């Protein structure tokens, strides 16, 4: 029997859905006849392009979604760098959103600015780490990176010095690992790293509120995707959905780091403790290997913390050890008895047993030293240097403001240790020689370190507020800020406004500078302006502020003061105004070589200024450089034949040159 076409179509359509018996019944054909047809025509295989299309559809969907989100500028720009001017870059203030999703106020860097296009004479150093690398509580002016920058600027003035600190509060090795590829792309001469204290509670750490996985590979894979707008959309949806059921989270006080770790105990040698060690080890190995692959030298600092004057925050029972607080008390007893070696060991053990892991365990320093040996990288032994600078070689409040953030002197000591490590490894600028002997550089740097009393007050108030909350005290016992802090001076009042977020750091120094100017305290005014310019060298208004002040002094002919102001202005950044009047005042004071130096520089900056050229011609004549004087005065007369005094100077020069 031959099957009809309509019967064949029915069989093909239903061969997978119905049994042969059912098809036989529907078509009224024998089972044997249908089976014979099926045996002779196996099911057609799905074309290969069907699977390709199946795969491409979701990919295309997400590509189009990503493009659409970017076109409509959804979410935040999480790129690493952002332009502050056409030619200058800074760390993107939004970049921390890669690592934080449950907090509102994102941590930001100290905003070090650098050239988008690296110059040929540039010596570029990147600094990575956490709050103690950023310089807390002395941010932005007191970090160890600022010491290194100032020392390099003083010792190597022929080089364009760029020390870019991109450290962030409450991050850890995950952030550093994520940053490194984009740091390497900026062609650094050197990378400095000081990290490890935040490994447990920093963003995405094993004990952090931002943690979502114990797998380091999974977290790093998530970070690689986190730059996409689609991932931002998914995160925003999850947060929105969560808030539908849980509502807005309660407002939290205290530092960002304390909020990230609120009462999360991690016992010594527990699984979480070991996971944090492995997390640090794996991420830092990746960082080192990436730097090695790109032939960029790297220096990692060992970690220092307050041993003697910081008792354990959380003391727990441990089958292998006595409670941390008990060990700490034994350490104090040994210290009081003069057994300092034993006391040091006990203080370190008490710190390691502290279940609130705000201070890195000793194992991390051992790991850093092992990195140095295994990978032949430089290690700046900050921990040993702090011990050596402490009474009986045990670090306490002498170098620490709290549990691990150094004092200003401590940060400068950190800078010196890193700098000396740079020198030992020949990581200093090689294109020029230092103009200051190495042994004098540290003292000179500290003498010229840009820091003011108002910055000290800001740091003091930050620490007072820090210690007025968990984990230092029970939050129920907090003292109101108005009772805790009593400003004594105008600068103190500004500092308090800053820590209360009522004014910015820029406004703080601007207001202080304006007050010093009203009081005719020139040194005070210039100090604040110098600090502002050192922090934000691209803001031209700051330079103009000094220029206007100098012009006011010139109007009243206070040449002694204006010379001092212009010298400071020249040190910040030479311009035609400062060079012109420094040269002119030197000329009138018969300091001829200095006058020529400044006036030549002013002419190169502004060739159209006839007055400067006339003064330079006069300076050349007094220095018996008559041919140079003649050439300059002719330029003046070509532009203005009636320029006062120019014809007379030309007549005198012609007479002298004829005699020669």
For residue 145, how many other CB atoms are within 10 A of its CB? 29
CA distance 599 to 613: 8
Per-residue confidence (pLDDT) for residue 68, from 0 to 100: 81
Backbone angles phi, psi at 90, to 5 degrees: -150, 160
The tokens of 549 are what? 């002040």
CA gyration radius, the chain: 35
Cross-strand bridge partners of residue 378? 299
Give the Cα-Cα-Cα angle 451, 455, 459 (nearest 5 degrees).
130
* Two structure tokens written together for 629: 């004087």
3-state secondary structure of 308: coil
Give pLDDT tens digits for 474-495. 888 999 999 999 999 999 999 9
Angle made by CA atoms 126, 573, 523, in degrees to the nearest 5 = 100
CA 182 distance to own-chain centroid? 13
| pLDDT tens-place string over residues 31-52 | 787 777 777 776 656 666 666 8
pLDDT 10s digits, 251-268: 555 566 666 665 589 999
Taking 80 as the threshold, does the pLDDT of residue 62 lie above it? no
Residues in the chain: 660
% of the chain surpassing 70 pLDDT: 93
Half-sphere exposure of 375 (CA within 13 A, CB side): 25
Residue 252: per-residue pLDDT: 53
Among 67-81, 313-327, 371-385, the minimum mean pLDDT is found in: 67-81
**Pure H helices in 354-436:** 362-375, 382-388, 408-424
| Longest Cα separation, the chain | 135
Angle subtended by helix axes 576-588 and 540-555, to nearest 10: 30
In this predicted model, what pLDDT tens digit does every residue of 357-369 receive, in sequence order?
999 999 999 999 9
* pLDDT single digits (tens) 395-405: 999 999 999 99
Residue 247: predicted pLDDT? 56
Q: Would you state the torsion angle of the CA atoms of residues 218, 219, 224, 230, taken in this order, to the nearest 10 degrees? A: 90
CATH superfamily of 81-314+354-430: SGNH hydrolase (3.40.50.1110)
Q: What is the pLDDT of residue 37?
A: 72
H/E run at residue 191: strand 190-194
Q: Which of 222, 268, 235, 441 is nearest to 362 (CA)?
A: 268
Predicted confidence band of residue 158 (pLDDT cuts 50, 70, 90): very high
- Give residues with Cβ within 8 angstroms of 549, minimum separation 6: 517, 525, 565
**Mean pLDDT confidence for 630-659:** 90
Fold exhibited by the domain 455-659: 1.25.40
* CA 591 – CA 619 distance, rounded (Å): 9
Across the beta sheet with 81-85, the strand order is 81-85, 88-91, 114-115
Neighbouring C-beta atoms of residue 82, cutoff 10 Å = 14
Confidence band of 119 (pLDDT split at 50, 70, 90): very high
Give the integer Cα–Cα distance in Å for 325 and 405: 21
Query: Residues 68, 73, 76, 82: what is their CA dihedral angle, to the nearest 10 degrees?
Result: 120
**Residue 542: CB partners within 8 Å, gap ≥ 6?**
529, 532, 533, 536
In contact, 358 and 403? CB cutoff 8 Å: yes
* H/E element, 648: helix 646-659
Per-residue pLDDT tens over the stretch 587-609:
999 999 999 999 999 999 999 99
Indicate the domain borders of the chain: 5-40, 81-314+354-430, 455-659
Confidence of residue 23 (pLDDT cuts 50, 70, 90): confident
Chain mean pLDDT for the chain: 90
- What SS3 string covers 340-369? HHHHHHHHHHHHHHCCCCCCCCHHHHHHHH
Q: For tokens 């549990």, what's the residue?
A: 403
Beta strands in 220-376 (DSSP E): 298-301
In the three-class reduction of DSSP (H, G, I as helix; E, B as strand; rest coil), residue 439 is classed as helix
Question: Are 567 and 581 a contacting pair, CB within 8 Å?
Answer: no
């Amino acid at each position: 029997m031959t099957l009809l076409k309509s019967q064949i179509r029915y069989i093909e359509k239903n061969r997978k859905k119905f049994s042969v018996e059912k098809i036989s019944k529907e078509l009224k054909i024998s089972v044997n006849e249908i089976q014979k047809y099926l045996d002779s025509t196996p099911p057609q295989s799905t074309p290969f392009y069907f699977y390709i299309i199946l795969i491409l559809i979701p990919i295309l969907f997400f590509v189009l979604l990503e493009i659409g989100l970017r076109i409509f500028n959804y979410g935040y720009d999480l790129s690493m760098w952002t332009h502050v001017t056409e030619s200058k870059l800074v760390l993107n203030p939004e970049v921390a959103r890669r690592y934080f999703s449950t907090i509102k106020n994102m941590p930001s860097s100290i905003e070090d600015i650098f050239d988008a296009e690296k110059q040929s004479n540039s010596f570029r150093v990147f600094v990575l780490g956490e709050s103690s690398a950023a310089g807390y509580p002395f941010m932005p002016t007191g970090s160890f990176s600022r010491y290194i920058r100032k020392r390099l600027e003083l010792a190597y003035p022929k080089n364009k010095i760029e020390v870019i600190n991109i450290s962030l509060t409450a991050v850890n090795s995950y952030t550093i690992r994520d940053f490194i590829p984009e740091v390497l792309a900026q062609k650094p001469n050197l990378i400095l790293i000081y990290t490890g204290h935040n490994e447990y509670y920093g963003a995405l750490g094993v004990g952090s509120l931002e943690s979502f996985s114990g797998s380091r590979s999974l977290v790093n894979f998530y970070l690689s995707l986190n730059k996409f707008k689609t991932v931002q959309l998914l995160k925003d949806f999850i947060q929105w959905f969560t808030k539908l059921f849980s509502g807005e989270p309660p407002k939290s006080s205290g530092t960002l780091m304390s909020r990230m770790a609120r009462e999360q105990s991690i016992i010594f040698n527990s699984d979480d403790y070991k996971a944090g060690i492995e997390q640090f080890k794996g991420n830092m190995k990746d960082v080192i290997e990436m730097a090695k692959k790109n032939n960029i030298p790297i220096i990692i600092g060992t970690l220092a913390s307050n041993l003697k004057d910081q008792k354990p925050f959380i003391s727990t029972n441990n089958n292998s050890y006595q409670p941390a607080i008990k060990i700490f008390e034994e350490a104090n007893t040994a210290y009081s008895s003069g057994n300092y070696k034993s006391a040091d060991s006990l203080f370190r053990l008490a710190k390691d047993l502290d279940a609130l892991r705000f201070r890195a365990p000793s194992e991390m320093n051992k790991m850093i030293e092992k990195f140095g040996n295994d990978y032949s990288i430089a290690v700046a032994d900050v921990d040993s240097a702090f011990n050596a600078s402490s009474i009986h070689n045990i670090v306490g409040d002498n170098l620490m403001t709290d549990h691990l953030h150094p004092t200003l002197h401590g940060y400068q000591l950190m800078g010196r240790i890193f700098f000396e490590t740079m020198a030992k490894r020949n990581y200093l600028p090689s294109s020029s020689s230092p103009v200051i002997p190495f042994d004098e550089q540290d003292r000179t740097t500290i003498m010229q370190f840009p820091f003011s009393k108002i910055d000290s007050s800001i740091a003091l108030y930050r620490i007072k507020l820090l210690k007025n909350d968990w984990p230092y005290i029970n939050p129920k016992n907090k003292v109101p800020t108005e009772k805790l802090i009593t400003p004594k001076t105008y600068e103190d009042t500004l500092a308090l406004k800053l820590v209360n977020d009522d004014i910015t750091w820029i406004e703080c120094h601007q207001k202080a500078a304006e007050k010093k100017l009203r009081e005719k305290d020139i040194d005070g005014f210039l100090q604040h302006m110098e600090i502002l310019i050192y922090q934000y060298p691209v803001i031209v208004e700051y330079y103009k502020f000094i220029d206007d002040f100098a012009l006011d002094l010139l109007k009243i002919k206070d040449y002694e003061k204006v010379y001092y102001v212009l010298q400071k202005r020249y040190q910040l950044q030479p311009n035609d105004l400062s060079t012109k009047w420094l040269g002119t005042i030197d000329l009138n004071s018969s300091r001829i070589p200095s006058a020529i130096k400044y006036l030549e520089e002013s002419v190169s900056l502004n060739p159209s200024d006839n007055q400067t050229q006339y003064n330079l011609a006069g300076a050349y004549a007094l220095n018996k450089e008559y041919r140079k004087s003649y050439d300059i005065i002719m330029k003046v007369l070509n532009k203005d034949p009636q320029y006062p005094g120019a014809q007379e100077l030309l007549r005198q020069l012609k007479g002298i040159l004829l005699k020669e």
